[in-house]
Structure 1
Amino acid sequence: MPEQALTVNTEDGTVPATLYGEPGNPGVLMLMDAFGPRPALADMARRLAGAGYVVLLPDLFYRFGQYGPFDAATAFQDEAKKAELMKMIKGTTQAMTARDTGAFLDVLAEHGGIGPVGVVGYCMGGARALTVAAEYPLRIAAAASFHGGGLASEAEDSPHLRAAEIRARVYVGCAGVDRSFPPEQSARLAQSLREAEVDHIIENYVGMSHGWAVPDHSVHDPAGAERHWTRLLTLFDETLR
């Protein structure tokens, strides 16, 4: 399976990224979780590429220069590493990722990713997947969030506030217990998407914890991860092909 390390030029700087897959297939943008691009996410991108997609995995924390690497299973147990991660998470706003995504979509198209494309995000990337679907409604046809946090929060940039701008099909897979996306946010998101007439599914993964779908997380659940793959590939296969 072809892989290519490249850089993406954005308004704010140069983004390290990796492209996976054969040109001429539907394009997919993979938005990382809080621990940055690493072997676990690369393996997930390879699996998605192997299913017949051109996948771009950019480093959303590029504004901070060199960092990490972080062990997803233990980083939040180390106070210094936790502080570094939280600084980068809070310093990488929804607006920044929305602005960057125009360049990401251009790169996908330049390298043979057929559009409109799909986007999938994990953890912090989950909220951004919905935000960029709203920002680029004519270029993104499917958006998936897995254990995404703050999808319908009180924040001014909460993704649910832009539901009326989304034209993509939306899938949200949420952990059974997740303080970053509690039941009241799930209900608020469902109402916003339904009122906006967005084709969507919000699915509760009972027994799963935040991070279950990513293989190097301490709470990784193999059965739940396979269920996530089934849902993700169904969404993309039905929508992008």
Structure 2
Amino acid sequence: MAGKSAGQWIEIAAADGGTFKGYLAVPASGSGPGIVLLQEIFGVNASMRAVADYYAEEGYVVLAPDLFWRFEPGIELGYGEADFGKAFGYYQRFDVNLAIKDTADALKVLRARPECKGKVGALGFCLGGKLAYLTAARTDVDCAVAYYGVGIEADIGEAKNIKGPIVFHFAELDKFAPAEAREAVKAGFAGRDDAEFYLYPGCDHAFAAPERASFDKPATLMAHSRSIALFRKVLGPHYDLSSLWDRHTELEFATRSAEATMGTMVAEPYVNHIPTMTGGVGYKDLLRFYANHFIPKTPADTKLVPISRTIGADRVVDEMLFCFTHDIEIDWMLPGIPPTGKYVEIPLVAIVRFRGDKLYNEHIYWDQASVLVQIGLLDPAKFPVAGVETAKKLVDEALPSNTLMKRWAESAPN
């Protein structure tokens, strides 16, 4: 989920005596709001540490306490059959009430860290999902996110103690949190507008764990955006994504520097121009693409005409007209097609995802058929496609609709 590890192990003092460890991940900026990350039944393993590093990239100071320390410190299990057996054995020995006290001690340490600035939230998965819920009920965290929490319904009476907003992610096929359990949790928050419930159809328990067979990437991406939306709203940090995107495009189309463009992105970003599947995954490939096949292969008269812009918690959706003269071979849009000298205008949509204050990925969409019509490679008389008309109608809704529908006249009123 994340790039190079940002973390270290630190000591946490327990209020009733003894110490235990926690994995601390700090953002590149050196400070940020806090998140206490609550583990699955497999311990603070590589997967949990990757989640901590991921949220550190998002701008948070993350502390994942080892909540199995009271019977065996430093447990790190994988997801094989033998490890599952061990994990359920540990779960049977686990004292939830002591774990919440340990979490409160971890929160105290997190808030005291010089890197932690401002508010603190809770985030948990599986067992940690229930712990995130109980942490919200029994401590002073400012918000909480619970992924497929197991057994929350057994303690739903504590929902009334939760003062801050909370998000629940549930999987439709999760036998550990079946429909009746999910409905009981929802009923516990009836009448409250600060509790959000999301159900992921066709998904099973642990859908957000890349190492598990149940991993579902689309659901994971959607859930993460919803989680980040809550954390940004309550905790911050607040980034000017619009200006960051403007700076990126300025470096691409005005400054025309591949290296400077890459400087606006995370360590391992990716770009995908959907119609032609051009771009790159990872720093090395994407720099190669920008330096050799995008920036120098974009016509000099290229113009971007803004139509609309939507700003989300972790992304920008830009709608624009993309205008250019096909006077060079455009590797990324028209690979292998010699210049035709034709002028082209097309609607284009860029969906740009950020991780913290850096671009993480770009999905760029346009109508390739319209481009081919406008440069004379596709005959609109033979196919239901249009040329520059798509761009013209985007900015003038009064232009006629349904011109490609030969049967449109048949539905006209008498």
> Does the 8 Å contact 1:28/1:113 carry over to 2?
no
Is 2:144 aligned against 1:143?
yes
Q: How do 1:1-241 and structure 2 match up within 5 A?
A: 2-10=6-14, 11=16, 13-22=18-27, 23-66=30-73, 69-72=76-79, 74=80, 77-78=81-82, 81-111=83-113, 112-136=115-139, 139-153=140-154, 158=155, 160-195=156-191, 197=192, 199-241=194-236
- Aligned-residue offset at 1:4: 2.5
Q: Is the 8 A contact 1:124 1:149 kept in 2?
A: yes
The one-letter amino acid of 1:107's match is V
Distance 2:41 2:144 in 1: 19
Higher helix share: 1
1:92-114 Cα offsets, whole Å, 9 max, x none, are 22211211122111111121323
Q: Give the alignment's TM-score, normalised by structure 1.
A: 0.88
User: In the TM superposition, what is the alpha-carbon distance from 1:83 to its structure 2 partner?
Assistant: 4.3
Amino acid at match of 1:170: I
**Cα 1:13/1:240, change in 2 over 3 Å:** same
Unaligned runs of 5+ in 2: 237-414
Instruction: Tell me how far apart the structure 1 counterparts of residues 97 and 149 of structure 2 sit (CA, whole Å).
Output: 17
Offset, 1:89 = 1.2
How has the CA–CA distance of structure 1 residues 198 and 166 changed in structure 2, closer, same or farther, with 3 Å as cutoff? farther
Q: Which has the larger radius of gyration?
A: 2
Write the letter of the residue equivalent to 1:4.
Q
How far apart, CA to CA, are the structure 2 residues paired with 1:13 and 1:214? 32
With over 3 angstroms needed to count, the CA separation of the structure-2 counterparts of 1:116 and 1:186, relative to structure 1, is: same
Aligned mates of 1:35, 1:29 — CA distance in 2: 17
| Displacement after TM superposition at 1:135 (Å) | 0.5
Amino acid at match of 1:177: L
Ranges in structure 1 where 5+ consecutive residues have no aligned partner: none
TM-score, length of structure 2 as denominator length? 0.52
Task: Deviation per CA, 1:182-238: give whole Å up to 9, x if none.
Answer: 11111111111125x361111111111101112222211222221121111111001
User: Does the 8 A contact of 1:163 with 1:198 survive in 2?
Assistant: no
Per-residue CA distance 1:118-144 (angstroms, 9 max, x = gap):
1010000000101011101xx211111
Distance in 1 (CA, whole Å) between partners of 2:88 and 2:133 is 21
CA-atom RMSD in angstroms: 1.8
Question: Between Structure 1 and Structure 2, how many residues are aligned?
Answer: 228
Q: 2 CA distance for matches of 1:212 and 1:190?
A: 20
Over the matched positions of the two proteins, sequence identity in percent amounts to 25
| Structure of higher RCO (CA pairs closer than 8 Å, 6+ residues apart) | 1
Alpha carbons of structure 1 residues 175 and 110: separation in structure 2 relative to 1, 3 Å? same
Instruction: List per-residue Cα deviations over 1:39-96 (Å, max 9, x = no partner).
Output: 2221111110111110001111111225654222x2xx33xx4443223212222211
- 2:6 touches 2:53 (CA, 8 Å); kept in 1? no
Secondary structure at 2:142's aligned position in 1?
strand
**2:45 touches 2:75 (CA, 8 Å); kept in 1?**
no
Q: 1:130 to 1:66 in 2, by over 3 A?
A: closer
Cα offset, 1:12, TM superposition? 5.2
> Structure 1 165/48 Cα, relative in aligned 2: closer, same or farther at 3 Å?
same
